[in-house]
Amino acid sequence: MQNGVNFTKKNISLPISRVRLIMKSSPDVSSINQDALFLTTKATELFVQHLALSSFNNGSGKETNSLSYSDLATTAEETETFHFLTDILPKKILARDYLKSLEQMQEEEGDF
């Protein structure tokens, strides 16, 4: 390995080649220059920190001192920046509660 890698290894904790793979899986992406790749990788680190900490503080984490899935789902819903995640972070509810609520809504609204 050559010298330049020393900087990147110390300062990036995510595999760049994998980031590139994910980027290339987007439609219509032909090529990505080195800066773009570096920036995306670095931004991803910032994103993970941001999401984890926001969710931890936002949710029940502060009392329980732990981060759970529902903290993430809550944050995605309540924080505008993370709204794009709501489709992959559905709030989980028990099936029977869902069906009960569905019935209630149908009653309230007439036809559904």
Partner 1 sequence: INLICINRLSMDGDSSTTDASQLGITGEYMPSSHYVLQSQDDDGEENLNDHEDGGIKENYREQDIYLPIANVARIMKNAVPQTGKIAKDAKECVQECVSEFISFITSEASERCHQEKRKTINGEDILFAMSTLGFDMYVDPLKLYLQKFREAMKGEKGMPGVAVGESLGEELTDDSFTNPLPAGIITADGQQQNVMVYTTTSYQQIPTVQQIQFS
Applying the rule CB under 8 A, the residues between 24 and 53 that interact with partner 1 are 25-40, 42-53
Q: How far is the CB of 110 from partner 1 (least distance, A)?
A: 15
Task: Compute how many residues bind partner 1; rule: CB under 8 A.
Answer: 85
Rg (CA), the chain: 20
- Residue 58 in the binding site for partner 1 (CB under 8 A): no
C-alpha 74/C-alpha 86 separation (Å) is 9
C-alpha torsion sign, points 77, 79, 80, 82: negative
Identity of the residue, 30 or 110, whose beta carbon is nearer to partner 1 in the bound complex: 30
Question: Per rule CB under 8 A, is residue 22 in the interface with partner 1?
Answer: yes
